Amino acid sequence: MAQDALDKLRDLADGQIDFEGQKLAELLSTLLLSVFAVLSFMVGFTLQDIKLAVYIGLVGTCLTFLVVVPPWPFFTRHPIKWLDAYASRSLVAIETTTE
Amino acid sequence: MFNSLNRIQNTFGFFTTVAFVLASFIALSDFVTPRAPSAGTIVPESVQVVKGRPHYYSSKKEEYAIVKFSLDASLESLFTWNTKQVFVYVTVEWPEPGADNVTNSAVIWDQIITSPSADHLSNLSPVALRKLKRSAEGKSIDPSRGKLKIKNQKPKYQITHPTGKLAEAEDVRLRLHYSVQPWFGILTFDQESDIGLWKAFKGGVSELFKLPALKKKTTT
Residue B69's nearest CA partner among B39, B47, B95 is: B47
H or E segment to which residue B19 belongs: helix B4-29
Q: Of B187, B132, B23, which Cα lies nearest the Cα of A40?
A: B23
What is the model's pLDDT at position B138?
A: 85
Does residue B81 contact residue A45 with C-beta atoms inside 8 Å? yes
Q: Among A18-27, A86-95, B119-128, B130-139, whose mean pLDDT is lowest?
A: A86-95
Closest CA to B3 of A96, A60, A25: A25
State the average pLDDT over residues A27-46: 96
Interface touch A33/B140, C-beta < 8 Å = no
pTM, rounded to two decimals = 0.83
The reported pLDDT for the residue numbered B97 is 85
Alpha carbon distance B39, B148 (integer Å): 9
Q: What does the mean pLDDT of chain A come to?
A: 88
CB B24 within 8 A of CB B190: no
Which residues in chain A are closer than 8 Å to B82, comparing Cβ atoms? 50
Residue of B nearest to A23 (CA): B1
pLDDT in the model for residue B82: 95
Of the candidate ranges A28-32, A82-86, B105-109, B179-183, the one whose mean pLDDT is the lowest = A82-86
Q: What is the pLDDT of residue B100?
A: 83
Characterize the bridge pairing of strands B147-153 and B103-114. unpaired
Q: What pLDDT, on a 0 to 100 scale, did the predictor assign at position B36? A: 94
Amino acid at B134: R
Q: What is the pLDDT of residue A89?
A: 57
Task: Give the model's pLDDT for residue B101.
Answer: 86
Mapping DSSP onto H, E and C, the string for chain A reads CHHHHHHHHHHHHHCCCCHHHHHHHHHHHHHHHHHHHHHHHHHHHHHCCHHHHHHHHHHHHHHHHHHHCCCCHHHCCCCCCCCCCCHHHHHHHHHHHHC
Q: Give the dihedral of Cα atoms B165, B168, B173, B177; nearest 10 deg.
A: 20
| Residues present in chain B in total | 220
B26 three-state secondary structure: helix
Given this model, what pLDDT does residue A96 score? 54
> CA B202: distance to chain centroid?
15
Look at residue A99 and tell me whether its pLDDT is greater than 80. Answer: no
Enumerate the domain spans of chain B: 1-32, 35-220
Residue of B nearest to A40 (CA): B22
Q: Find the residue in A nearest to B117 (Cα).
A: A51
Cα angle B68, B69, B71; round to 5: 160
> Given this model, what pLDDT does residue B137 score?
87
User: Of B2, B19, B80, which has the smallest distance from its Cβ to A22's Cβ?
Assistant: B2
- What is this model's ipTM? 0.83
Distance spanning both ends of chain B, measured CA to CA: 90
Whether residue B178 contacts residue B87, with contact meaning beta carbons closer than 8 Å, is answered with yes
Q: How close does chain B come to A1, measured CA to CA in Å? A: 25
Interface subset of B 100-129, CB within 8 angstroms of A? 117
Task: Give dist(CA B32, CA B27) in Å, integer.
Answer: 10
Using an 8 Å Cβ cutoff, are B3 and A14 in contact?
yes
pLDDT for A87 beyond 70: no
Mean pLDDT by 10-residue block, N- to C-terminus, for chain B (220 residues)?
Answer: 92 97 96 93 93 89 94 94 95 90 93 93 91 89 93 94 90 95 95 93 93 74
